[in-house]
């Protein structure tokens, strides 16, 4: 129950249903999620450790705000760790995973017209989680998923604030096709290079408008 409560609250924070600065009251969350006080408290403690909420001794528990330091720190970590994971995925890919990657490539190629923010980020999440799994390192997977979740929240907040960024997301799908193709080909050097550029490029786009 605590795990489900954590995931539901985390997703509401990531997609800005609970925007930065929101006061999180235990009673309201219990009613909203239809759970008891203990799962809510455990979920909030975990969200605090993960950086999604902060606690003020006098004022209460709030959804964490996003600033330039968050952007720099998260993308700096992702650029190095994620590119290495993509290299591992290219080196360790097995045939069933290659078939899954080919299905993902086909899905990305079949996208017609501009996607909305929600659909674009859902596809992005699917591709990245595949790469994390294909790297076959559970500790790396957990770390990368955490950083990617933080990135998704940054993207939701910044794109809603600066809608012009949405056009930049069109390049994301192209880069992901190239990244998956390199992984399928077992080209670790190319896969690592594309993954590094992929993460760094969007940070540059965000910095242009902030």
Q: How far apart are the first and last CA of the chain?
A: 38
Provide the total of helices (H) and of strands (E) in the chain, helices listed first.
9, 3
Neighbours of 90 (CB within 10 A): 25
CA distance 137 to 85: 9
Q: Report pTM.
A: 0.85
Q: Tell me how far CA of residue 21 lies from CA of 27, 56, 83, in angstroms.
A: 18, 12, 32
Q: Domain-by-domain residue ranges, the chain?
A: 2-63, 68-209
CATH numeric code, 68-209: 1.20.120.530
pLDDT tens, position by position, for the chain (210 residues)?
A: 889 999 999 999 999 999 999 999 999 999 999 999 999 999 999 999 999 999 988 899 999 998 767 778 888 889 999 999 999 999 999 999 999 999 999 999 988 766 677 888 888 889 999 999 999 999 999 999 999 999 888 888 888 887 777 776 767 788 899 999 999 999 999 999 999 998 888 777 777 766
Q: Are 13 and 153 in contact (CB under 8 A)?
A: yes
CATH class of 2-63: mainly alpha
């Amino acid at each position: 129950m605590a795990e489900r409560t954590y995931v539901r609250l985390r997703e509401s924070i990531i997609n800005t249903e609970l925007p930065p600065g929101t006061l999180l009251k235990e009673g309201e969350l219990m009613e909203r999620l239809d759970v008891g006080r203990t799962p809510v408290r455990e979920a909030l403690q975990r969200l605090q450790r993960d950086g999604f909420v902060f606690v003020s001794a006098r004022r209460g528990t709030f959804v964490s705000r996003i600033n330039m330091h968050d952007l720099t720190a998260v993308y700096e970590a992702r650029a190095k760790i994620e590119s290495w994971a993509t290299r591992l995925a290219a080196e360790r890919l097995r045939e069933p995973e290659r078939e899954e990657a080919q299905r993902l490539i086909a899905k990305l190629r079949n996208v017609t017209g501009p996607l909305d923010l929600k659909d674009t980020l859902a596809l992005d999440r699917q591709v990245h989680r595949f790469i994390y799994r294909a790297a076959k390192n559970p500790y790396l997977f957990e770390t990368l998923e955490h950083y990617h979740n933080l990135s998704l929240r940054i993207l939701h907040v910044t794109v809603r604030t600066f809608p012009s960024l949405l056009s930049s997301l069109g390049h994301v799908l192209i880069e992901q096709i190239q990244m998956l193709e390199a992984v399928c080909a077992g080209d670790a050097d190319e896969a690592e290079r594309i993954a590094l550029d992929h993460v760094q490029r969007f940070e540059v786009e965000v910095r242009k408008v902030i």
